Each structure stands twice: as C-alpha cells, then as structure tokens.
Structure 1
C-alpha cells in the first residue's frame, strides 16, 4: 500500500481488512455450510453441534469496526456508474455490476471509520446464507456475501 494513502485507509476503518490478503474460495465447503444453515437459530447444524458467526468473530478476523453508526443508505439507484464517477473520479468498466450503495458513506473517510462495517458484513453474510438455504442460490465466485469469512472461522 502506498504510504501516502495509508492514513486515509486507517481512518476509514478498513486498514486491517487490507492485510488479510487473497483467499481462494472452496466452493464445496461453502456449499456444505450453506446446506447446514438453520434459519430458526442462525446457526450451522453440524455433527458435533451448533456453530454460528458472531460480531466478535468478524471484528477479530477482519478488524472491521462493530461499534458505531449503522451502515444504511440508498440501495435503489438507476445510475451507479454516475455515482462512482462522482465519488471516485472514474466509473466501472462497461458491463460490470457493482454494489455502490455504501459509496455515499465513504465520501468523508474520517466519518466512514465511525460506522459499524463489521455488523454490515455479518448482516450481508446472513442474508446470503438465507438466500442459499431457502432460495437455493448456489455459492459461487459471483455470489454476494462475505463467504470468505466462513473459510477462516
């Protein structure tokens, strides 16, 4: 990471997440976990008992803040490419789908560090597990959800 941007990444609350590195997805493991997800208790039903992912797990493993303001914002926007250009100076490549609903919260990086990004990541994971277990959506490279967190738990 360029030392000139490190203070900004730290202020945003995402610095430790940048230190995790790349994790190759084990799709069979992830699919097996999704199949064992029980919505009634938000737990995985395993042979040895029940297991879940907690906010503390997210905080310890990713360094994302779990205290602070809730991560909420506009999710219904027709032109995310324009939003990206306004906030980042460049739009996404043609044909790319992006989720830019949290970009508004990153306008002020000092303020961005006051949000509970860890809680948002966990909620996003739980939603993906719901979709996988109830709706039958398969986990894949294009799946939405913080599935890489499940591989390190």
Structure 2
C-alpha cells in the first residue's frame, strides 16, 4: 500500500485536479514581498528563497484596526503563506518558509484552483526518498499526511 492522490484529497481536503503549480525561483524576493505583502523583509530575515517564519509571524500577527481591502489581502497572503510553510511544505528546522509559493497567492481568487494535493504528495515522496538515504536524521514536508494515513 502507498499514499495516493485520493488519500491526499480525503485526508487533507486538498484539490488534486486543477492548475499545475509551477514557477521560477529567479525572482527578486524583496520586491515580490513588497508587492504582495506590502513590506520588505530585512535581508537578515531572507535565506536564499526562504523567509524567516519568526519574522513573518511577528510582522503579521497584529493587523491594524482600520483594514482596507488591500491590507486585508496582504494579511491573507501572509497567513496563507505561513500555513503553506508550516503545515504543507515545512523545512527540516521549521525556521523558514519558501517564498516560491508567494507568486501563486497574487490573485487570491485563483489560489484555490491549483492542484495543491499533487504537490504535497510529490514533495512527501521526494522527502521520504531523501530520508531513506544513509546518514539522514530528519524528515521534512507534510509528515502529518503520512501520520494520518498510516
């Protein structure tokens, strides 16, 4: 037995049919953060194409009282990015969130149309392969799926 796309859909409630999740990592991450989140993170909080989880949580933990639509969308993007990075595509330490998913949050009406379940399963299989190598001591990605499935 093995985890299937249907298992992902049932266990996590993620879409398994829809738009493919593709993109590029050749992006100016600071500029993209400013465009979609309304704030540029300090360079000390960016590691390659990942942003500090601590910084993201601290920056967006207290929304202003008088939210306009643009600010509400920025906070929603930050929340969804944090959810993606902490539940679906975690790194081994849990300290950083990959920003490659941020461009997919540009149009929030399209975000639910992506095949998130396919990517979660592909990343889980990739991580299981890496974890089986000699010397591997930790595993990342969506281990919640693995735990609930087993």
Q: Distance in 2 between matches of 1:115 and 1:131?
A: 26
In the alignment, is residue 58 of structure 1 matched against residue 54 of structure 2?
Answer: no
Q: Distance in 2 between matches of 1:88 and 1:135?
A: 40
| 1:49-128 correspondence runs (5 A) | 51-77=1-27, 79-92=28-41, 94-95=44-45, 96=52, 97-128=96-127
Query: Do the aligned residues in 2 keep the contact of 1:68 with 1:114 (CA within 8 Å)?
Result: yes
In the alignment, structure 2 segments of 5+ residues that lack a partner are: 46-51, 53-95
Q: Distance in 2 between matches of 1:56 and 1:127?
A: 18
In the alignment, structure 1 segments of 5+ residues that lack a partner are: 1-50
Change (3 A) 1:86 1:59: same
Question: What is residue 143 of structure 2 aligned with on the other side?
Answer: 147
**Size of the alignment, in residue pairs?**
99
Q: Distance in 2 between matches of 1:75 and 1:104?
A: 10
With the length of structure 1 as denominator, give the TM-score of the two structures. 0.56
Q: Distance in 1 between matches of 2:26 and 2:4?
A: 29
Q: Judging by fraction of residues, say which structure has more helix.
A: 2
SS at match of 2:23: coil
Q: Distance in 1 between matches of 2:113 and 2:141?
A: 22
With the length of structure 2 as denominator, give the TM-score of the two structures. 0.57
SS at match of 1:125: helix
Task: Give the Å deviation of 1:91.
Answer: 4.5
Change (3 A) 1:81 1:53: farther
SS at match of 2:7: helix
Question: What is residue 132 of structure 1 aligned with on the other side?
Answer: 131
Runs of at least 4 residues off by over 6 Å: none
Moved more, 112-121 or 94-103: 94-103
SS at match of 1:151: helix
| CA-based RMSD | 2.1
